[in-house]
Amino acid sequence: GFSYYCTASAGRERTLIAVKPDGVQRRLVGQIIQRFEQRGFKLVGLKMLKAPEDLLSQHYHNLQKKSFYPYLLCYMTSGPVVVMVWEGFNVVQTSRMMVGSTNPAEAQPGTVRGDFSIHVSRNVVHASDSVAGAEREIQLWFNGRELIDWDCCDHNIVCEFT
Ligand code: IDP
């Protein structure tokens, strides 16, 4: 559980969201960014790149023994990705809900995967699955200078700080 009030540190939770190559090809980047903006989260990092294989193997280190892993690497290197860091209260858990189940066949309508995808091998977005995982992934994809420390003018409107 989490408290109703938002402490300064709880308000600075961060997560890594990536638009995968199918999402970029299908021009979904804008719509995905819009969902996180309108929810009330703050964008603190953003870049486009062709992900190197060694970066992906670290990112997906827990999946290397899976039978689909070679296909996953092929998919993730098939074109550019747009990687973002979003910040705000409970952002890891909330963004997993916004993204929906890994398998789009099980993803609720209203989620990114539930609205834009049909098959697990082309599920449009990545979202970190824990606070610790998010910290690890953010360090993997971004260097410190690429993360912008800024105050959004509505930060104490979208969250009640103690
Ligand atoms: P997550 O992305 O929802 O956290 P993970 O289990 O960490 O889910 O899997 C990482 C990614 O690997 C998925 O988002 C999906 O792109 C791919 N993947 C997972 N399971 C399968 C599968 O059974 N076949 C093909 N690709 C899969």
Reported as a single tens digit per residue, the pLDDT across 90-139 is 999 999 999 999 999 999 999 999 999 999 999 999 999 999 999 999 99
CA of 6 to the centre of ligand 1 (A): 32
CA of 36 to the centre of ligand 1 (A): 21
Q: Determine the residue type at 62.
A: N
- Whether the predicted interface score ipTM is above 0.90: yes
Each residue of 75-101: b (16+ CB within 10 Å) or e? bbbeebbbbbbbbbbbbbbbbbebbbb
Q: Nearest residue CA, atom 9 of ligand 1?
A: 102
What is the rounded radius of gyration, in angstroms, for the C-alpha atoms of the chain? 16
CB-ligand 1 contact for 126 (6 Å cutoff): yes
**pTM (two decimals):** 0.96
Q: CA dist 18 to 28, 46, 49, 82, 90, Å?
A: 11, 9, 11, 6, 18
Q: What is the pLDDT of residue 59?
A: 98
Question: Which residues are part of the catalytic machinery?
Answer: 126
Order of all β-strands in the sheet with 125-127 = 42-49, 81-87, 14-19, 125-127
* Percentage above 70 pLDDT, the chain: 98
For helices 91-99 and 29-39, give the axis angle rounded to 10 degrees: 140
Average pLDDT over residues 14-26: 99
H-helix or E-strand containing 18?
strand 14-19
Q: Residue 124 and residue 43: Cα distance in Å, rounded?
A: 19
Which atom of ligand 1 is closest in space to residue 76's alpha carbon? 16
Q: Nearest residue CA, atom 19 of ligand 1?
A: 120
Which atom of ligand 1 is closest in space to residue 62's alpha carbon? 7
